[in-house]
C-alpha cells in the first residue's frame, strides 16, 4: 500500500468510462486548484474524497471549499458535536476527545429526494447541485468503529501525542518504521490545534474517557495476550509484546457533499494497522466496493456497511477471529474453574482441606481475569449499540433523501398492506393492516423503516443491520458464558470461605477445651495442693503437740536463709 500522509486528501473518481487511479493532493493543492478538476464534470459519475485522519479543521476546509456558499458559522453543527462539551478551563484527557455518534440530513437536503424518486432524475439534479453548491452537506454521519493496532505501534503513537502536549510521562518505547513521519505530523497538528485532531483511542479509552491513565488497562487487553507473532508457551500468555494486537476504536466521519460526491475522514494508510495484505482494513475494503454502484446513496451505504462489519467479515476472520479468540479464552477459564472446583471437592472428601486448598489466591486471580473479559465484551456491545442507533438515523435520513416510490410505504415508516379476511355472515372483507403499530423490537423497526428507501441502499442497510445483530448475538453469548463462569468462581470462593470458617470453628473449639483444662487445673487442683501442703505441716498450731515447733519458728528460720542468700 502506498504511503498516505495525514495532511493529504486522496481523490477517487469513477467516470463514465471507468474507475480512475486515485490522486493524492495536499489540502492546499486540493483547495486552490484540485476542486476545479473534480467538481461540475459531467463525465464524473461518483467522487470520493478521503482524509486519512480525524482532523476537524482539515475536514472543514475541504467542505467549505467544495460548498462555495458556506460562510461563517455554517460548520457550527460539526463543532457542536464535539465531546466532551465542558468549559474551556476544564482539564480533559486527550483521548476523551470524540464526536457524538449521529447521522443527520441538512435542512436544505430534506425533500430533495422526494422530488426525484427515480434514478434517471438524479442527473438533472446533480447538474443543478454542481452549478449551485449547497450551503451544507446533504448528509453527515459520525460513528465509532473497531480497528486493529499493534501494541508497539500504539505506544509509539501515544508517545508522540504526549510529547506534543509537553507531557513528561514516559511510555514503553517501540521501533519506529515508516509511520514516523506521519506520527510527527499528527503530533505537530495536535500541538498547533489541540482541539481539531481527534487521536486514535483504545477500547478502554473509548469506554472510560475520563480515566486519565489507561496504560495498565491497555496492556491488559485479552486479545493482546493471544495475538503475538512471537512463539510463547502457555505460561507466557500473560505477557504482551510489541507485536501483540490490540483493539482500537477509531471514528468515521462521512459527508455527502452533493449527489455525486462524498468526503470521509478516518485513520488509514500508515497511520493505522497494516499487515501486508493479511488484514483488509476499512480503507481497502471501501476501495474494492464503492465504485460498483451507480449513485451516491448506494455507495454511501456501502461505506457504512464496511465500517460496521470490517473486523468481523469472513476475509478478516482468517487473519484474526475476534469472537473465536474470546470464545477460546472463556473456555480455558471455564476449564480452570472446573479444575479448582474438582481439587477442592477431592480434598474435602478425604478430609485434607489444608490452608493451601483454602487460601483462594488462584481462584481470586481467575475471577479478576474473567471480570476483565466481561468488561471488554460489554464495551464492544456498547459500541455496537451506538452503531445501530446511528444506522437507524441513517435510514430515516435516506427515507428523505432517497425515498422509494412504493405506495404501500408512507413517509412516517408505516408499512401498510391489504389482507382479505372472511367474516362469518358478512363475506370477504379487505382489512388495512399497519405492521408498525405496537412494534418495539429495534431490528424489526429498522427493517420496516428501510422499506421507504429506494434502490440497493435499502438492501445494504438491512443487510448491515442483520450483520450487526449477528455480531451482537455472538458477543452476548460470550458475555453470558463469562458471567456464568464468574458466578461459579464466586460460589467456589464462598464455599472455600465457609470451609475455612468451619475449620476455624473446630480449631476454636479445641482451643476452648485446652483453656477449660487449664482453668480446672489452676482453679481447683492448685488450691488443693496448697491446702494439702499447708495443713500437712507438723507444727503446734495444727497438731496441738507441744513437741512440734511453732509456725513462727519455721517462718523465722526460712526468712533467715532468704536474707542470707539475698546478701
Rounded to an integer, the average pLDDT of 530-539 is 73
- pLDDT tens for each residue of 430-461: 444 444 444 346 677 888 999 999 989 999 99
Nearest Cα neighbor of 61 from 79, 75, 46 is: 75
Nearest Cα neighbor of 499 from 343, 376, 337 is: 343
Q: In the predicted model, is pLDDT for residue 499 greater than 90?
A: no
Q: Where is pLDDT greater, at 421 or 221?
A: 221
Rounded to an integer, the average pLDDT of 400-410 is 72
- Measured in degrees and rounded to the nearest 5, phi and psi for residue 433 equal -110, 130
Q: How confident is the model at residue 181 (pLDDT cuts 50, 70, 90)?
A: low
390: Cβ–Cβ under 8 A, 6 or more apart, which residues? 101, 102, 103, 141, 142, 143
How high is the pLDDT of residue 446? 84
Which residues sit opposite 431 in a β-bridge? 419
Angstrom distance (rounded) from CA 219 to CA 239: 9
**In contact, 252 and 147? CB cutoff 8 Å:** no
How high is the pLDDT of residue 196? 83
Q: Where is pLDDT greater, at 344 or 44?
A: 44
**At what angle are helices 442-450 and 456-520 packed, to 10 degrees?**
170
DSSP state of 537: S
Rounded to an integer, the average pLDDT of 4-10 is 67
- pLDDT tens for each residue of 306-351: 999 999 999 999 899 999 999 999 999 999 988 888 887 777 766 6
How high is the pLDDT of residue 48? 94
Query: How far is C-alpha 7 from the chain's CA centre?
Result: 28
Provide the percentage of residues in the chain whose pLDDT is more than 90: 34
Q: In the predicted model, is pLDDT for residue 179 greater than 80?
A: no
Q: In the predicted model, is pLDDT for residue 517 greater than 60?
A: yes
How high is the pLDDT of residue 139? 94
- Measured in degrees and rounded to the nearest 5, phi and psi for residue 110 equal -65, 130
Q: How many CA atoms lie within 13 A of 255 on its CB side?
A: 24
- pLDDT tens for each residue of 96-133: 899 999 999 887 655 455 444 443 344 334 334 344 44
Angstrom distance (rounded) from CA 197 to CA 238: 34
Q: In the predicted model, is pLDDT for residue 557 greater than 50?
A: yes
Q: In the predicted model, is pLDDT for residue 552 greater than 70?
A: yes
Which H/E stretch holds residue 188?
helix 179-192
Which H/E stretch holds residue 28?
helix 27-29
**In contact, 279 and 319? CB cutoff 8 Å:** yes
Rounded to an integer, the average pLDDT of 228-249 is 74
Average pLDDT, the chain: 78
How high is the pLDDT of residue 550? 78
Nearest Cα neighbor of 156 from 277, 271, 2 is: 271
Q: Where is pLDDT greater, at 361 or 563?
A: 361
Q: How many CB atoms lie within 10 A of CB 258?
A: 24
Angstrom distance (rounded) from CA 425 to CA 427: 6
Which residues sit opposite 197 in a β-bridge? 55
Q: Where is pLDDT greater, at 229 or 314?
A: 314
Q: How confident is the model at residue 138 (pLDDT cuts 50, 70, 90)?
A: very high
Q: In the predicted model, is pLDDT for residue 150 greater than 70?
A: yes
**In contact, 71 and 284? CB cutoff 8 Å:** no
Q: In the predicted model, is pLDDT for residue 290 greater than 80?
A: yes
Sign of CA dihedral 89, 95, 101, 103: positive
Q: In the predicted model, is pLDDT for residue 379 greater than 90?
A: yes
Rounded to an integer, the average pLDDT of 222-243 is 73
- pLDDT tens for each residue of 198-219: 989 999 999 999 998 888 899 9
Return the exposure string of 39-61: e unless at least 16 CB atoms fall within 10 Å of the residue's CB, then b.
bbeeebbbbbbbbbbbbbebbbb
> Mean pLDDT highest for which of 283-292, 512-521, 557-566?
283-292
Helix (H, G, I), strand (E, B) or coil at 198: coil
> Mean pLDDT highest for which of 142-156, 353-367, 420-434?
142-156
**In contact, 8 and 27? CB cutoff 8 Å:** yes
Helix (H, G, I), strand (E, B) or coil at 433: strand
Strand runs labelled E in 214-364:
245-256, 261-265
Rounded to an integer, the average pLDDT of 41-59 is 90
- Largest Cα separation within the chain, whole Å, is 148
Q: In the predicted model, is pLDDT for residue 464 greater than 80?
A: yes
Q: How confident is the model at residue 519 (pLDDT cuts 50, 70, 90)?
A: confident
How high is the pLDDT of residue 172? 41
363: Cβ–Cβ under 8 A, 6 or more apart, which residues? 340, 489, 492, 493, 496
Angstrom distance (rounded) from CA 46 to CA 297: 10
Q: In the predicted model, is pLDDT for residue 164 greater than 90?
A: no
State the cell numbers at 304.
Answer: 457504512
Q: In the predicted model, is pLDDT for residue 20 greater than 80?
A: yes
Q: Where is pLDDT greater, at 82 or 510?
A: 82
Rounded to an integer, the average pLDDT of 465-480 is 95
- Of 149-163, 253-267, 409-423, 493-507, the poorest mean pLDDT is in 409-423
Q: How confident is the model at residue 194 (pLDDT cuts 50, 70, 90)?
A: low
Peptide bond into 404 cis (omega under 30): no
How high is the pLDDT of residue 4? 43
Rounded to an integer, the average pLDDT of 500-522 is 72
Rounded alpha-carbon distances, angstroms, from residue 313 to 379, 471, 478: 20, 10, 18
Amino acid at each position: 500500500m502506498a504511503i498516505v500522509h495525514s495532511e493529504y486528501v486522496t481523490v477517487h473518481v469513477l467516470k463514465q468510462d471507468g474507475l480512475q487511479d486515485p490522486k493524492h493532493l495536499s489540502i492546499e493543492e486540493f483547495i486552490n486548484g484540485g476542486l476545479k478538476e473534480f467538481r461540475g464534470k459531467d463525465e464524473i459519475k461518483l467522487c470520493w474524497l478521503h482524509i486519512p485522519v480525524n482532523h476537524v479543521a482539515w475536514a472543514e476546509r475541504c467542505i467549505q471549499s467544495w460548498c462555495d456558499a458556506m460562510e461563517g458559522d455554517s460548520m457550527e453543527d460539526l463543532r457542536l458535536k464535539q465531546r466532551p462539551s465542558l468549559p474551556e478551563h476544564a482539564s480533559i484527557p486527550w483521548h476523551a476527545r470524540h464526536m457524538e455518534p449521529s447521522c443527520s440530513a441538512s435542512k436544505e437536503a430534506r425533500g430533495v429526494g422526494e422530488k426525484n424518486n427515480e434514478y434517471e432524475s438524479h442527473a438533472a439534479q446533480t447538474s443543478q447541485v454542481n452549478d449551485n453548491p449547497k450551503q451544507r452537506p446533504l448528509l453527515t454521519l459520525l460513528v465509532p468503529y473497531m480497528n486493529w493496532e499493534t501494541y508497539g505501534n500504539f505506544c509509539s503513537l501515544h508517545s508522540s501525542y504526549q510529547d506534543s502536549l509537553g507531557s513528561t510521562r514516559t511510555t514503553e518505547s517501540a521501533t519506529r518504521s515508516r509511520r514516523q513521519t506521519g506520527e510527527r505530523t499528527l503530533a505537530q497538528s495536535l500541538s498547533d490545534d489541540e482541539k481539531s485532531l481527534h487521536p486514535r483511542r483504545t477500547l478502554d479509552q473509548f469506554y472510560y474517557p475520563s480515566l486519565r491513565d489507561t496504560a495498565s488497562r491497555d496492556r491488559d487487553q485479552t486479545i493482546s495476550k493471544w495475538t503475538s507473532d512471537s512463539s510463547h508457551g502457555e505460561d507466557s500468555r500473560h505477557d504482551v509484546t510489541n507485536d501483540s494486537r490490540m483493539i482500537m476504536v477509531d471514528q468515521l466521519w462521512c459527508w455527502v457533499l452533493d449527489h455525486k460526491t462524498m468526503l470521509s475522514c478516518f485513520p488509514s494508510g500508515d497511520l493505522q494497522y497494516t499487515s501486508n495484505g493479511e488484514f483488509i482494513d476499512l480503507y481497502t475494503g471501501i476501495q474494492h466496493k464503492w465504485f460498483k454502484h451507480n449513485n451516491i446513496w448506494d455507495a454511501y451505504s456501502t461505506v457504512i456497511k464496511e465500517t460496521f462489519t470490517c473486523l468481523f467479515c469472513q476475509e478478516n476472520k482468517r487473519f484474526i477471529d475476534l469472537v473465536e479468540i474470546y470464545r477460546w479464552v472463556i473456555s480455558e477459564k471455564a476449564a480452570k474453574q472446573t479444575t479448582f472446583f474438582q481439587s477442592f471437592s477431592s480434598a474435602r472428601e478425604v478430609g485434607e482441606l489444608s490452608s493451601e486448598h483454602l487460601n483462594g489466591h488462584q481462584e481470586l486471580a481467575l475471577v479478576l481475569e474473567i471480570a476483565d473479559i466481561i468488561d471488554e465484551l460489554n464495551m464492544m456491545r456498547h459500541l455496537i449499540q451506538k452503531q445501530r442507533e446511528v444506522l437507524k438515523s441513517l435510514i430515516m435520513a435516506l427515507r428523505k433523501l432517497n425515498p422509494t416510490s412504493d405506495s404501500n410505504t408512507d413517509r412516517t415508516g408505516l408499512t401498510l398492506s391489504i389482507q382479505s379476511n372472511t367474516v362469518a355472515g358478512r363475506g370477504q372483507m379487505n382489512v388495512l393492516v399497519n405492521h408498525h403499530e405496537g412494534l418495539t423490537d429495534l431490528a424489526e423497526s429498522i427493517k420496516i423503516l428501510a422499506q421507504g428507501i429506494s434502490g440497493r441502499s435499502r438492501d445494504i442497510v438491512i443487510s448491515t443491520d442483520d450483520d450487526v445483530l449477528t455480531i451482537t448475538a455472538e458477543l452476548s453469548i460470550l458475555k453470558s458464558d463469562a458471567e456464568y463462569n464468574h458466578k461459579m468462581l464466586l460460589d467456589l470462593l464462598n464455599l472455600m470461605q465457609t470451609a475455612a470458617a468451619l475449620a476455624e470453628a473446630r480449631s476454636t473449639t479445641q482451643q476452648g477445651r485446652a483453656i477449660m483444662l487449664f482453668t480446672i487445673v489452676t482453679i481447683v487442683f492448685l488450691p488443693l495442693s496448697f491446702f494439702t501442703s499447708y495443713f500437712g505441716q507438723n507444727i503446734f498450731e495444727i497438731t496441738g503437740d507441744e513437741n512440734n515447733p511453732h509456725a513462727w519458728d519455721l517462718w523465722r528460720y526460712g526468712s533467715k536463709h532468704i536474707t542470707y542468700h539475698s546478701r
